[in-house]
Structure 1
Amino acid sequence: MKCRHCHHELEHVFLDLGHAPPSNAYLSASQLRAPETTFPLRLYVCDNCWLVQTEDYTAADELFSRDYAYFSSTSLSWLQHAARYVEKITEILKLNRDSFVIEVASNDGYLLKNFVAAGIPCLGVEPTSTADAAEKIGVPVLRKFFGVATAMELAEAGKRADLICGNNVYAHVPDINDFTDGLRIALKQGGTINLEFPHLMNLIRFNQFDTVYHEHFSYLSLTAVVGIFAKAGLRIFDLEELPTHGGSLRIYGCHESDPRKTRSVVMDALEKENAYGLRDLAIYNGFQQKADKVKDDFVEFLIAQKRAGKSVAAYGAAAKGNTLMNYAGVKHDLVSFVCDAAISKQGNYMPGNHLAILPPFELAKFKPDWVVIFPWNIADEVVQQQKQVLGSGTKFVIAVPELKVLP
């Protein structure tokens, strides 16, 4: 197997979570009796370019199908994050009615609706059914996967962008070189690329192994991304560290020839990664044991609650929960059901573990003793919403980065 960026031979396993179904392959009731396809969920690190990547992956159209069920607008905090970003980048780049913005993986229009409201021309590139929701609120969408072919189509139509943005898409693309070349082709001279992605250094530091799933083909450090951009004729000239998704980077990219100078914060971040050990195999070789401890502690907690006669439910039918549950081998004998605010998921079942996905109001009906919050990155938001309904009789807990009862 070769690195999907530099084509160096891959030899070093970073994490092995066995076999699992795709994390967003939610099941209908009729599908529960049918065979379920699983794929190896194993990560390698390239000791040449330091890109961490999945061993095997299915075709992108299998993972992000027409009925893809993840809607970005489900989270209020994420909507607020998007609105703040649009306000900030509009001011920084002086975007106006003569500008053009492209968002790659625009989902349900959660972000671009802010540009539409400001009268700034924009276009979403989104192949899944979430585009239906975007179009209903006035966001124009090109229903295609993004890469060189789509970028050429946009460029030939005179639709090169002053800003190309993409939140949590860079890790999802199976051909990261084709995607990055597409960014260059679709970007105007003098234009800016903003990509947000979870930072590999935080994944390792805070033991966020549940962010590993098939839909994430790459796990990104700044070190790796700088090299990928350079090969495509692009340069990272600025960045921000963000608290989203357990710690993310927002990079600012441009054409290699752009006159804007690279800010010292970029070099500082590269030095920080180097000091942490992201160019040393030792930091990767020790991660499996950290993941195993989280899994073991979680299972022990659930078994203890079952023996004590306590009921346990979960909140958030998220990919994080699927990774954790399927790796731990947890079924509905230990966790009764999971609630989720996304209507598209309700009435279905989690892949692998087959937990029923119910509306959040079901928590108030059952009043479980414990609620496990799978999307730990929005745990505070969930607790604030649900405590008012459930009262003090229910306790909340997260399993990652370590088992913790929430106040």
Structure 2
Amino acid sequence: MQCRLCESDRLVSVLDLGATPPCEKFLAENDLDQPEQTYPLHLRLCENCLLLQIPALITPEDTFTEYAYFSSYSDSWVDHAQRFVAGAVERLGLAANSFVIEAASNDGYLLQHVLDAGVRCLGIEPSVNVGAAAVARGVPTVTAFLDEATATAVRAEHGPADLVVANNVYAHIPDLLGFTKALRILLADDGWLSIEVHHALNLVQLGQFDTIYHEHFQYYTVRSAAAALQTAGLAIVDVETLDTHGGSIRIWARPDGIGTPTGRVAEVLRTEQEAGLHDVTGYVALRPRAEAVRHELLRFLLDAHAAGQRVVGYGAPGKGNTLLNYCGIRADLLEYTVDRNPYKHGRFTPGTRIPIHPVERIDKDRPDVIVVLPWNLEAEITEQLAYTAEWGAQLVYPLPTLHFGGNAGSRAQEKVEVGE
């Protein structure tokens, strides 16, 4: 394996999660008697440029031609996008004569707000089914994978963009150098690029191993992101820290020579350095932290099973499938999970083969314990499930350490006394 940023072969192991299926390959009932392909999920660090990465064992076409994730099913995520757009319009002075492009625009969750602001926009979305949902809500969308050829064609037809948005896609690209060049092609010479991506600082410090999956090819610090952007003549001029996805960074970049970096760039770089992430030694803590999460969750589920409690899940996110497979959790410990996305209903989680039902199934069964797999949406989901207090259900969030939310209160400790 060579580093996809600097081509060094000096890669060291950080965390080996075994072999799992791709996290978005949900199974239909007819698939259950068929073999299921798995791939190693092994996080490594380049000693030369300090880019965290996994081998590119699947292609974007394997995952994104038809995709199971629709951004608009998360209310908090749509609200987050709306706030971003409002801030960008004000910060950059976007108006009717401006042009915004979003790479991996999903179902139009973000660009719908750009349209509402009266700004011309275009989405570039590879997934046919998801892009169709964007077009249905009136968002202009090109169905294509963004590469240099696509970027050149889009720029020739629509002109350069004042703002290019690449939120939660920069980790999903195995051809990191080509994709970065494509972003620069789309961008006007005085334009702005906005990238949101999970911060490797939180991945390592908080043991967020479930953010590692096959469609996430690399994991960024500000330092490694700056090195990647520089390959296409782009420089970071500002950084914001966000709560999304368990802790993300919003990078603002511009063509070289345009703009001066704010003090926040130096501040985040200093925080990373103090955490040891500008050196190989800072990454060794991830493995024991991941193991501690696995052991704690398994102990809890085994105790609940021994006590005769009915345990189900909430959500079927990609990160949840990394968690379930790494921990070896199957339907004996988690009877089923539910999800708001109808695309997943009647399907089964990859690898662990746990059935996925509509959310209303929880109302019918009134389980004792609900394990929330998209733990990063704790506030939103705790509010959605507040009604389960009617029968005393216990909400469990497995990361960053196992804890109880919403209805739990003092009842949480009473319910887990078994085995303690």
Alignment correspondent of 2:316: 317
- Structure 2 distance, partners of 1:56, 1:222, is 22
Write out aligned runs for 1:324-343 (5 A).
324-343=323-342
The alignment partner of 2:227 has SS state of helix
Alignment pair present for 1:302 and 2:301:
yes
Alignment correspondent of 1:148: 148
Alignment pair present for 1:224 and 2:258:
no
The alignment partner of 1:18 has SS state of strand
Write out aligned runs for 1:8-407 (5 A).
8-66=8-66, 68-128=67-127, 129-258=129-258, 260-389=259-388, 391-407=390-406
Contact 1:47–1:279, Cα closer than 8 Å, also in 2: no
Contact 1:199–1:249, Cα closer than 8 Å, also in 2: yes
- Structure 1 distance, partners of 2:162, 2:56, is 35
5+ long unaligned stretches in structure 2:
407-420
In the TM superposition, residue 157 of structure 1 has moved relative to its aligned partner by 2.1
In the TM superposition, residue 363 of structure 1 has moved relative to its aligned partner by 0.3
- Structure 1 distance, partners of 2:327, 2:229, is 37
Cα RMSD (Å)? 1.1
The Cα offsets for residues 231-264 of structure 1, whole Å up to 9 and x where unpaired, read as 2111111111111111111011110032x21112
- Structure 2 distance, partners of 1:279, 1:137, is 44
- Structure 1 distance, partners of 2:330, 2:161, is 47
Alignment correspondent of 1:2: 2
- Structure 1 distance, partners of 2:72, 2:394, is 27
Contact 2:85–2:110, Cα closer than 8 Å, also in 1: yes
In the TM superposition, residue 368 of structure 1 has moved relative to its aligned partner by 0.8
Tell me the TM-score normalised to structure 1 length.
Answer: 0.97
- Structure 2 distance, partners of 1:347, 1:390, is 27
Contact 2:198–2:248, Cα closer than 8 Å, also in 1: yes
- Structure 2 distance, partners of 1:97, 1:276, is 44
Aligned in 2, Cα 1:90/1:398: closer, same or farther, shift over 3 Å?
A: same
The alignment partner of 1:170 has SS state of coil
| Runs of at least 4 residues off by over 6 Å | none
The alignment partner of 2:189 has SS state of strand
Contact 1:213–1:323, Cα closer than 8 Å, also in 2: yes
Alignment correspondent of 2:413: none
Contact 2:21–2:350, Cα closer than 8 Å, also in 1: yes
In the TM superposition, residue 375 of structure 1 has moved relative to its aligned partner by 0.5
- Structure 2 distance, partners of 1:194, 1:336, is 41
- Structure 2 distance, partners of 1:159, 1:345, is 38
Contact 1:193–1:252, Cα closer than 8 Å, also in 2: yes
Contact 1:40–1:56, Cα closer than 8 Å, also in 2: no
- Structure 2 distance, partners of 1:55, 1:287, is 18
- Structure 2 distance, partners of 1:47, 1:245, is 26
In the TM superposition, residue 389 of structure 1 has moved relative to its aligned partner by 4.3
Q: Once structures 1 and 2 are overlaid, which stretch shifts more, 173-182 or 151-160?
A: 151-160
Contact 2:124–2:144, Cα closer than 8 Å, also in 1: yes
Q: Once structures 1 and 2 are overlaid, which stretch shifts more, 389-398 or 5-14?
A: 389-398
The alignment partner of 2:97 has SS state of coil
| Paired residue type of 1:87 | A
Contact 1:317–1:338, Cα closer than 8 Å, also in 2: yes
- Structure 1 distance, partners of 2:397, 2:370, is 9
Aligned identity (percent) is 40
The alignment partner of 2:385 has SS state of helix
| Paired residue type of 2:375 | W
- Structure 1 distance, partners of 2:101, 2:219, is 24
- Structure 2 distance, partners of 1:118, 1:239, is 24
The alignment partner of 1:157 has SS state of helix
| Paired residue type of 2:88 | I
Q: Once structures 1 and 2 are overlaid, which stretch shifts more, 396-405 or 35-44?
A: 396-405
Contact 2:205–2:286, Cα closer than 8 Å, also in 1: no
The alignment partner of 1:172 has SS state of coil
Q: Once structures 1 and 2 are overlaid, which stretch shifts more, 312-321 or 57-66?
A: 57-66
| Paired residue type of 2:267 | D
| Paired residue type of 1:212 | I
The Cα offsets for residues 349-386 of structure 1, whole Å up to 9 and x where unpaired, read as 11111111101110011111100000011122112111
- Structure 1 distance, partners of 2:156, 2:379, is 46
Tell me the TM-score normalised to structure 2 length.
Answer: 0.94
Q: Once structures 1 and 2 are overlaid, which stretch shifts more, 243-252 or 261-270?
A: 261-270
| Paired residue type of 1:41 | L
In the TM superposition, residue 286 of structure 1 has moved relative to its aligned partner by 2.7
- Structure 2 distance, partners of 1:389, 1:26, is 27
In the TM superposition, residue 156 of structure 1 has moved relative to its aligned partner by 2.2
